[in-house]
Amino acid sequence: MLCEKSKQTKINIIDSIMGSGKTSWAIQYMNEAPISKRFIYITPFMSEIARVIDSIEREFAQPEALKGETKLESLQKLIGEGKDIVSTHALFKRINKELIELIEIQGYTLIIDEVIDILEDQKIPQDDLKVLLSARNSNGDPIISVDSKGFVKWNDDEYEEGNFKKIRNLANAGNLIMYNNTALYWLFPVAAFKGFEEVFVMTYLFQGQLQRYYFDMFDLQYSYHSVAYSNGRYDLVNYIPLGEENRDHLKNLIRIHYSKVSDKRDLNKIGSKRNSFSNSDLRRKMGVKEYRKMIKDNAYNFYRHKIGVSTEYVMWTTFKDFKQKIQPTGLRDQFVEVTARATNNYADKSVCIYLANRYMNPVTKQFFISHDVSVDEDIFALSDLLQWIFRSRIRKGQPIDIYIPSIRMRNLLELYLND
C-alpha cells in the first residue's frame, strides 16, 4: 500500500520595490478568485484593516474582542466558519496548534503584507538561565531538555506558578528555542505556514530579512516573483533581481546630504567610522554630553538651515533606547520607528533624518549561522533603511532630502541608487 505524499505548501515571495503595486495586486487577486477560495490577509497595522476591507469586493471579517471573547477566540470562530479574514501581524503571531488545524481543514490561502517578526529574544538573565539548565524535577530529570534543532521541552508537570511560567508556556506550545545555552527565543511556529494551501509574502529585499533565514533554516521552499502593471492590471511576473532593476527615478528623487567646502561644519564627519551610529556605538557614547549635543545640533542644522523646512515636514529616527537622549530640537512628535514598514501615515514628509546604523543582533546572527543559514548584514541594513525612507513622500513620487551621518548606511544607499 502506497503512503499518501505529504502536502507541500506553495510559498510565493512577491519581492518588488515599495510602491510597485503589491497590495493592489493582492486586492485584485482576491476580488477575482472563486468564491470557494478562502483568504486570511495579514497587515502590520490596525489602521490598514479598514482600507483593505473597503477595497475588496468579497466580504471580509476582522477578529474583535467582544464581551466574553478575546480576539484570538474571535479569530478561531471566524476560521471555524470559513470566513475571509483580515487581521494584524500582532494577532497572527499568537497562532496556536488548534488554529493551525482549523486552517488546514478549511483550506485557506495566506497573504502577508510585509514580513512578520518570526523571532523574539526572551531576554532571560544568564543567572536564571543557569538555574533553569541545572534544575531537576521530582523524578531527578532535567526540567528542560533541548533537541538537535534547539527546541526546548518542559519536563515538569508539577510546576504551576513562578518566574519560569512564561518559559514553560512557550516550551509547551513548541515555540521556544535555545541557542548555545546562552539565549532563549520565541519562534513563530513553522507549522503555521505548512497549514495553508498557499502563502504569499509581499515585501522587498527578502533575501536580507529574518523571515528568509527562518524559511531556509526549516527548509521551506519558496519562489520569487515581481509585480508589473500593464493595461490597467497588476500581474505577477518573473522575478526582477536587484541588479536588473531600473532605479533611475529614485536616484533623481533622493537627495543625500553631503557637506561642501564652504560649510563651517561637516555634518557627516560624526559618522565617519564603519560602526558609527550602530546600537553599540551609540550606547558607548551616550554618557558624553558633548557628543549628544553634537548629534542634536547637526540634525537641527540640517532641517532648519540647510533645507529650511518647518518641523511638520520632517521625520527622524534612531534606536528606541536613545530616542530621548538625542532627540533633535523641535522634533518630539516627528519620530518614526527605525523598523517602520507598510504605513502611509508619513507620506507628507519631505525631510528625513536617519541617526542609526543597522546591524543584526550578534547572537541572532550566530543563531542562524549555527543552523547553516547564510546571513548578509548589508542587505539586512539596506532593506530596513529603504523601508523607512519609503514612509516619506517619496512613495508618492515626490523628492526628499535625507541626512544619514553613518558612512556605512550612506554608502549602502549610494550603491543601491547607482546599481
DSSP 230-242: ETTEEEEEE---G
| Cα(368)–Cα(384) distance, integer angstroms | 19
pLDDT at position 195 over 70: yes
pLDDT band at 5 (very low <50, low <70, confident <90, very high): very low
Same domain, 138 and 60: no
pLDDT at position 415 over 90: yes
Same domain, 286 and 214: no
H helices present in 275-353, as ranges: 279-285, 289-300
What average pLDDT does the structure give for the chain? 92
Q: Does a structural domain hold residue 39?
A: yes
pLDDT at position 403 over 90: yes
Same domain, 377 and 256: yes
pLDDT band at 2 (very low <50, low <70, confident <90, very high): very low
Same domain, 240 and 383: no
Same domain, 320 and 397: yes
pLDDT tens profile 68-114: 789 999 999 999 999 999 999 999 999 999 999 999 999 999 999 99
Q: Give the least confident one: 40-49, 229-238, 407-416.
A: 40-49
Same domain, 40 and 98: yes
| Cα(193)–Cα(111) distance, integer angstroms | 11
Same domain, 101 and 175: no
Give the domain-ending residue among 162, 187, 212. Answer: 187
The pLDDT value given to residue 246: 84
Q: Is 308 left (phi over 0), alpha (psi -120 to 50) or beta?
A: left
The pLDDT value given to residue 174: 87
pLDDT tens profile 6-32: 568 899 999 998 888 999 999 999 999
Q: Give the least confident one: 160-164, 234-238, 330-334, 372-376.
A: 160-164
Same domain, 263 and 365: yes
Same domain, 294 and 410: yes
Same domain, 166 and 136: yes
- Sequence-distant (6+) residues with CB within 8 A of 265 are 259, 298, 301
- Give the total number of structural domains in the chain: 3
Range of the domain at 289: 248-417
pLDDT at position 269 over 70: yes
Question: Hey, what's the cell of 356?
Answer: 542609526
| Cα(145)–Cα(133) distance, integer angstroms | 8
| Cα(235)–Cα(192) distance, integer angstroms | 27
Can you tell me whether residue 264 is helix, strand or coil?
coil
Average pLDDT over residues 248-272: 91
Average pLDDT over residues 286-315: 95
| Cα(348)–Cα(315) distance, integer angstroms | 10
Q: Does a structural domain hold residue 103?
A: yes
Between β-strands 351-354 and 314-317, what pairing exists: parallel, antiparallel or unpaired?
A: parallel
| Cα(109)–Cα(395) distance, integer angstroms | 28
For residue 25, the domain's CATH number is 3.40.50
For the CA atoms of the chain, what is the radius of gyration? 24
Same domain, 150 and 214: no
Average pLDDT over residues 310-315: 96
pLDDT at position 3 over 60: no
Average pLDDT over residues 205-211: 93
pTM value is 0.89
CA neighbor of 385 nearest in space, from 418, 338, 346, 315: 338
Question: Hey, what's the cell of 390?
Answer: 519609503
pLDDT band at 254 (very low <50, low <70, confident <90, very high): very high
The pLDDT value given to residue 123: 87
Between the alpha carbon of residue 231 and those of residues 21, 22, 228, 234, 235, the distances in Å are: 14, 16, 10, 9, 10
Can you tell me whether residue 336 is helix, strand or coil?
coil
As a residue count, the chain comes to 419
| Cα(49)–Cα(88) distance, integer angstroms | 8
| Cα(363)–Cα(383) distance, integer angstroms | 20
Q: Does a structural domain hold residue 1?
A: no
| Cα(375)–Cα(369) distance, integer angstroms | 7
| Cα(410)–Cα(404) distance, integer angstroms | 6
